[in-house]
Every structure is written in C-alpha cells, then in structure tokens.
C-alpha cells in the first residue's frame, strides 16, 4: 500500500470515527477541527524545510482520534488507537512510532508543564492544533467545550489558576473565560515555527479585542 492510499484510507477512517454520528467528542473536537488542523499543518509544512509530509499528514489526521478529554483523562488512549489503525495499514514501525509520539505529546498540559516537541514534524502538527485553539475559532471552541462540560461562562469570584501539573489541569472545572488566561493567551508564545508565530499574532489580537468587549458589556 503506497503513502497516498494510506492517507486516503486514514481520511475515511477519521471521517467515520469523528463524523456527526459519532459520540466520541463534542463540536469543539470534531471532524471539522481535524480538517482545519490538517490544512493548517499542510500550510506550515510548505514553509518548513526537510519535514516528512507523510508523518505530518498522519499525525494531523489522527491527533484527536481519541482525545483524553472524552476518555476519562487517559492521555495514552489517542496514541494507542492511532497505533492500532496504523498497524492495520502496515505503516513502517519507525513512522508509526514517530506519529504516535507526536499524538502523545501534542496536548497543552498546563501553564507550568513543558510540552515541547522533539521533531520538526511534531512542531508543525502541534502548531497547527494550537492555531485552531485561538482566534475567532478558538473563542467559539472554548465556549462550545465549556457548554458541553456544563461550566459557567464567567464567574468573577473564581480567579484563573496556574496549573503546575497535567493532573491539576485535567481536573480543572473553571469558567470558560478563565480558560483564556489559563491557556489561550499563552499559546502565541508557545508556537514552534515562524509561520505559526506570524498567524498567531493576528489571532491573539482578536481574542484580546473579544475579551475587552466582553468585559465592557458586563460593566
């Protein structure tokens, strides 16, 4: 099976697993999120020299195939499910290990937790995922997920926290507005590639304008 066929079959697999009929996720981590991340990754990869596009494509497509947020906080489930699929596709062991490591390391795990990627391909896919967490889409996704979890939109009596461990971050149930300070506003400075850094600047400024308007209206 050649690389193009593997990618096409993986696209079909993701469509089936994360489509609207799936109960695996909410609208903030759905098929459309994966498609946006995939497109972001391809865009970034074009500007990055010597990146293995096959690894980038597979990792972008499979990065949320089983998100820990919807599997009782198990941060190993995503790489496990991805590996099972890649084994069916007879993907080379080295490539499979690389893709699964990217999926394992991709998530933001708290402001006090280092989540650096070790490879260029990992940096590209992580940036692609983080770009979809900020800007107008990021705002929409934050409130969609907060609604899914039954969280308060805003509570001035609950202050943002710094999460020094992944366990602390996973167990947080703070209001959605706090999420801007606990994660979203931090992502701009965590981008790995120059392409993503440039895109992130505009998205970051939109979120700042959004929160200014939000608090102006509250007043």
Q: What is the pLDDT of residues 158-184, one digit of tens each?
A: 999 887 666 676 667 889 999 999 999
Q: Which residues have CB under 8 Å from 85's CB, separation 6+?
A: 10, 13, 62, 65
What is the helix (H) or strand (E) element at residue 127, kind and residue range? Answer: helix 120-131
Two tokens, residue 41: 């990754």
Q: What is the DSSP letter of 156?
A: T
pTM here is: 0.91
Question: What is the pLDDT, as a whole number, of residue 114?
Answer: 73
- Is residue 121 within 8 Å of 98, Cβ to Cβ? yes
Q: What is d(CA 12, CA 17) in angstroms, rounded to the nearest whole number?
A: 9
- Computed over every residue of the chain, the mean pLDDT equals 89
Q: How confident is the model at residue 21 (pLDDT cuts 50, 70, 90)?
A: very low
Q: Mapping DSSP to helix (H, G, I), strand (E, B) and coil, where does residue 169 land?
A: helix
Tell me whether residue 89 is exposed, middle or buried, using C-beta atoms within 10 angstroms of its C-beta: 0 to 12, 13 to 18, 19 or more: middle
- State pLDDT tens for residues 90-148: 999 999 999 999 999 998 876 666 777 889 999 999 999 999 999 999 999 999 989 98
- Is residue 28 within 8 Å of 144, Cβ to Cβ? yes
Domains belonging to the chain, first-starting first, are: 3-218 (1.10.3210.50)
Q: What is d(CA 52, CA 45) in angstroms, rounded to the nearest whole number?
A: 9
Q: What is d(CA 47, CA 78) in angstroms, rounded to the nearest whole number?
A: 28
Q: Mapping DSSP to helix (H, G, I), strand (E, B) and coil, where does residue 139 land?
A: helix
Q: What is d(CA 133, CA 84) in angstroms, rounded to the nearest whole number?
A: 27
Q: What is d(CA 33, CA 18) in angstroms, rounded to the nearest whole number?
A: 10
């Amino acid at each position: 099976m050649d690389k193009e066929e593997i990618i096409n079959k993986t696209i079909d697999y993701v469509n089936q697993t994360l489509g609207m009929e799936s109960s695996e996720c909410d609208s903030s981590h759905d098929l459309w999120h994966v498609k946006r991340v995939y497109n972001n990754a391809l865009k970034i990869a074009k500007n990055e020299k010597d990146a293995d596009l096959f690894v980038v494509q597979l990792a972008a497509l499979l990065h949320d195939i089983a998100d820990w947020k919807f599997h009782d906080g198990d941060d190993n489930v995503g790489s496990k499910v991805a590996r099972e699929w890649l084994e069916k596709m007879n993907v080379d062991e080295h490539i499979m290990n690389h893709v699964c490591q990217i999926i394992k390391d991709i998530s933001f795990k708290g402001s006090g937790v280092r989540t650096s990627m070790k490879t260029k391909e990992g940096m590209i896919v992580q940036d692609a995922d983080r770009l979809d967490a900020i800007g107008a889409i990021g705002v929409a996704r934050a409130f969609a997920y907060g609604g899914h979890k039954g969280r308060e939109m805003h509570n001035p009596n609950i202050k943002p926290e710094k999460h020094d461990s992944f366990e602390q971050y996973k167990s947080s149930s703070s209001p959605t507005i706090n999420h801007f300070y606990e994660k979203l506003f931090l992502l701009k400075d965590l981008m790995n590639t120059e392409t993503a850094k440039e895109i992130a600047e505009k998205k970051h400024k939109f979120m700042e304008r959004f929160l200014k308007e939000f608090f102006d209206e509250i007043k």
